[in-house]
């Protein structure tokens, strides 16, 4: 039984890792191609609240924060750290040239903050840990990216709300995963 549980943990962890890596190019593609408003040579925007718009890529950033937590849960903290470093490189690679530094720095700092909050909280509960760590990560990501990319926090509200929607949408799945793990005796890595 332990061997089957270990295979399940590893398989799920690798799926989360692949999805995490795909969030980065997906965010960059969305921001240039999907939105209710697409500015020439600028980002495509989506509504995230009444009268509040955000670049469409924020959805993938919110998802990436949740996936990072799941990578750590399944594959351990060392793989999660390696994923953050690789993700920062991917972020720099896929970002438009003028946003490389802002994108990579925001990714590195926000995902590291997510890890630092998630790690001690995961023992108190998966849903709480994911929610709290993602909240910290999405605020840091938004502030760092906007400040470095544009020298302004004018779009902070939309960035935070857009990322938060994705985190909130994931919480029922996280709760189900926690219940299933308990039923199977699948403990965090």
pTM: 0.91
Q: Across the 189 residues of the chain, what is the mean pLDDT of every consecutive 10-residue run? A: 86 96 90 89 89 93 95 96 92 83 92 96 93 97 92 92 96 95 87
Query: Which helix (H) or strand (E) covers residue 2, if one does?
Result: helix 2-33
Region label for 77, one of left (φ > 0), alpha (ψ between -120 and 50) or beta (otherwise): alpha
Phi, psi of 24 (to 5 degrees): -70, -55
Helix (H, G, I), strand (E, B) or coil at 38: strand
Q: Which fold has domain 2-184?
A: Arp2/3 complex 21 kDa subunit ARPC3 (1.10.1760)
Q: Which pLDDT does position 80 carry in this prediction? A: 95
Would you list the domain boundaries of the chain? 2-184
Handedness of CA 104, 90, 20, 22 (dihedral sign): positive
């Amino acid at each position: 039984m332990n061997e089957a549980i270990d295979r399940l943990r590893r398989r799920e962890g690798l799926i989360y890792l692949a999805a995490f890596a795909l969030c980065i190019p997906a965010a960059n593609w969305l921001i240039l191609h999907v939105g209710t408003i697409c500015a020439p040579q600028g980002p495509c925007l989506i509504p995230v609240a009444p009268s509040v718009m955000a670049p469409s890529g924020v959805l993938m950033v919110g998802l990436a924060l949740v996936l990072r937590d799941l990578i750590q849960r399944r594959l351990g903290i060392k793989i999660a750290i390696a994923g953050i470093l690789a993700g920062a490189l991917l972020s720099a690679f896929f970002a438009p040239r003028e946003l490389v530094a802002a994108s990579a720095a925001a990714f590195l700092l926000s995902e590291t903050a997510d890890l630092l909050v998630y790690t001690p909280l995961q023992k108190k509960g998966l849903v709480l840990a994911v929610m709290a760590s993602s909240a910290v990560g999405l605020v840091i990501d938004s502030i760092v990216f906007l400040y470095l990319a544009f020298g302004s926090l004018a779009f902070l509200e939309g960035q935070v709300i857009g990322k938060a929607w994705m985190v909130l949408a994931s919480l029922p799945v996280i709760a189900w995963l926690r219940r299933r793990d308990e039923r199977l005796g699948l403990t965090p890595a």
